[in-house]
């Protein structure tokens, strides 16, 4: 597994990071505990060193599982996220320093780590970031040695911009062939500030695998049942035709093309993948091939134009 520079000096991270939202059973539907363990251990065996989670995934159980399997593994970089109170009804975002401090204590205990590799503020608002006390706490914990690094998981370009104003060392953003505008808008600034950029949702929640029929129906426990209207989904599936020309020679699937397209951006530190089974994980690791280059230059020419023609830019 190839490595790229990370937000901690002299430390690199695997170009694929295992994200654990889907694996936790939240978001897409249940996954057995055995499969969760198998995926985490298989990822590590395949050379993955980045493991991404959140204190709320499976109400803390995913952090506990990662702590049990990887807490003592000094090569594993564990990235967790805080900023949601699931004890309140309905759950609410909370970023007061006293609450964040408690969350980070609990995460450290579950992950079996006194020093945490990276903690991200989990989808804060622009207003929260502008206030400065949440980022101030992160800086304080970093200076005190409790956090090796910190950052912000941003739900929009505006939030990412506010995080950069607060000099965040790391940003997590949705970034894929169909959703590139936030990254593009900030790319130059992130490069100048040497921000560690972690791309998530690199398969657009599975859409970029290109397997779904036009009438795809998701179960009620799957977040995708609420994400797209039937018309929106049809429009998105049609846009996949703009990407299909990338599938040739060793790039043997749309999924591979989509993953390689993300990794082809050298400003991305790591692509946070979301497999829910060992076989999905194995496929994704095979999909990235032996690059760079991940995609031949000539197959990229014309992609942006095609994306525009298909209304995806
Ligand atoms: N706000 C945040 O901080 C935030 C938000 C979103 C995600 N994340 C992190 O990023 C990770 C990835 O995000 P995501 O779930 O949006 O990722 P994604 O990679 O775009 O989509 C994941 C889905 O892709 C499908 N998939 C994965 N590997 C596959 C394979 N080999 N063949 C076919 N389908 C495959 C699976 O769908 P099926 O379930 O249909 O098999 C899986 O649920 C999450 O686990 C989480 O850790 C963070």
Q: What is the pLDDT of residues 240-294, one digit of tens each?
A: 999 999 999 999 999 999 999 999 999 999 999 999 999 999 999 999 999 899 9
**Could you tell me the end-to-end alpha-carbon distance of the chain, in angstroms, rounded to an integer?**
32
In the three-class reduction of DSSP (H, G, I as helix; E, B as strand; rest coil), residue 283 is classed as helix
Beta bridge mates, 272: 17, 200
Q: Whose Cα sits closest to atom 41 in ligand 1? A: 276
The CA-CA-CA angle for residues 195, 198, 203, to 5°, reads: 150
Express as a percent the part of the chain with pLDDT over 90: 94
Q: Which run of H or E residues covers position 170?
A: strand 170-174
Q: Does ligand 1 come within 6 angstroms of the Cβ of 270?
A: no
Q: Is the pTM of this model over 0.95?
A: yes
Q: Does ligand 1 come within 6 angstroms of the Cβ of 256?
A: no
Q: What's the Cα-to-Cα distance from 296 to each of 259, 291, 300, rounded to whole Å? A: 14, 10, 7
Q: What is the pLDDT of residue 49?
A: 98
Q: Residue 52 CA: which ligand 1 atom is closest?
A: 47
Q: Does ligand 1 come within 6 angstroms of the Cβ of 113?
A: no
CA of 222 from ligand 1 middle (Å) equals 12
Q: Residue 123 CA: which ligand 1 atom is closest?
A: 1
Q: Does ligand 1 come within 6 angstroms of the Cβ of 25?
A: no
Instruction: Report the alpha-carbon distance of residue 92 to residue 79 in Å, rounded.
Output: 21
Q: What is the pLDDT of residues 44-97, one digit of tens each?
A: 999 999 999 999 999 999 999 999 999 999 999 999 999 999 999 999 999 999
Q: What is the pLDDT of residue 297?
A: 87
CA of 203 from ligand 1 middle (Å) equals 7
Q: Worst-scoring range by mean pLDDT, 36-40, 143-147, 213-217?
A: 213-217
CA of 295 from ligand 1 middle (Å) equals 22
Instruction: Report the alpha-carbon distance of residue 160 to residue 184 in Å, rounded.
Output: 12
Which pLDDT band holds residue 152 (cuts at 50, 70, 90)? very high
Site of tokens 């994980």:
281
CA of 29 from ligand 1 middle (Å) equals 12
Q: Does ligand 1 come within 6 angstroms of the Cβ of 273?
A: yes
Q: Does ligand 1 come within 6 angstroms of the Cβ of 124?
A: no
Q: Does ligand 1 come within 6 angstroms of the Cβ of 271?
A: no
Which pLDDT band holds residue 136 (cuts at 50, 70, 90)? very high
Site of tokens 């970029």:
208
Average pLDDT over residues 120-124: 98
Q: Does ligand 1 come within 6 angstroms of the Cβ of 224?
A: no
Q: Does ligand 1 come within 6 angstroms of the Cβ of 201?
A: yes
CA of 175 from ligand 1 middle (Å) equals 12
Q: Whose Cα sits closest to atom 47 in ligand 1? A: 19
Give the helix ranges, DSSP H, for 207-277. 224-227, 230-239, 254-263
CA of 19 from ligand 1 middle (Å) equals 7
- Structural domains of the chain in order of their starting residue, each with its CATH number: 3-309 (3.20.20.100)
CA of 274 from ligand 1 middle (Å) equals 3
Answer whether residue 311 shows pLDDT above 80. Answer: yes
CB 4 within 8 A of CB 12: yes
Express as a percent the part of the chain with pLDDT over 70: 100
Q: Whose Cα sits closest to atom 32 in ligand 1? A: 280
Average pLDDT over residues 29-53: 98
CA of 124 from ligand 1 middle (Å) equals 21
User: Which of 77, 200, 221 is the pocket-test mutation for ligand 1 (most atoms within 8 Å of CB)?
Assistant: 200
Site of tokens 């023609």:
309
Answer whether residue 312 shows pLDDT above 90. Answer: no
């Amino acid at each position: 597994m190839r490595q790229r520079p990370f937000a901690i000096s002299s430390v690199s991270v695997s170009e694929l990071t295992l994200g654990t939202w889907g694996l936790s059973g939240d978001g897409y539907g249940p996954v057995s505990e055995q499969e969760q363990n198998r995926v985490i251990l298989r990822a590590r065996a395949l050379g993955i060193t980045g493991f991404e989670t959140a204190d709320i995934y499976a109400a803390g159980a995913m952090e506990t599982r990662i702590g049990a399997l990887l807490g003592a593994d000094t090569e594993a970089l564990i990235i967790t996220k805080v900023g949601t109170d699931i004890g309140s009804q309905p759950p609410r975002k909370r970023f007061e320093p006293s609450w964040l401090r408690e969350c980070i204590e609990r995460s450290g205990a579950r992950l079996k780590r006194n020093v945490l590799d990276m903690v991200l503020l989990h989808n804060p608002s622009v207003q929260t970031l502008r206030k400065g006390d949440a980022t101030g706490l992160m800086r304080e914990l970093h200076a005190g040695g409790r956090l090796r690094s910190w950052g912000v998981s941003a739900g929009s370009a505006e939030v990412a911009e506010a995080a950069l104003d607060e000099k965040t060392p790391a940003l997590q953003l949705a970034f894929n062939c169909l959703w590139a505008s936030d990254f593009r808008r900030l790319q130059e600034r992130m490069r100048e500030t040497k921000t560690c950029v972690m791309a998530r949702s690199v398969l657009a929640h599975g859409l970029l695998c290109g397997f779904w029929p036009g009438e795809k129906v998701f179960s009620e426990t799957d977040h995708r049942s609420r994400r797209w209207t039937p018309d929106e989904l049809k429009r998105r599936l049609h846009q996949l035709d703009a990407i299909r020309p990338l599938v040739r020679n060793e790039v043997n699937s749309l999924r591979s093309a989509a993953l390689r397209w993300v990794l082809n951006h050298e400003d991305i530190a790591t692509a946070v993948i979301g497999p829910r089974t060992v076989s999905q994980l194995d496929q994704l690791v095979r999909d990235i091939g032996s690059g760079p280059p991940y995609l031949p230059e000539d197959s990229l020419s014309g992609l942006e134009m095609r994306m525009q023609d298909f209304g995806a830019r």
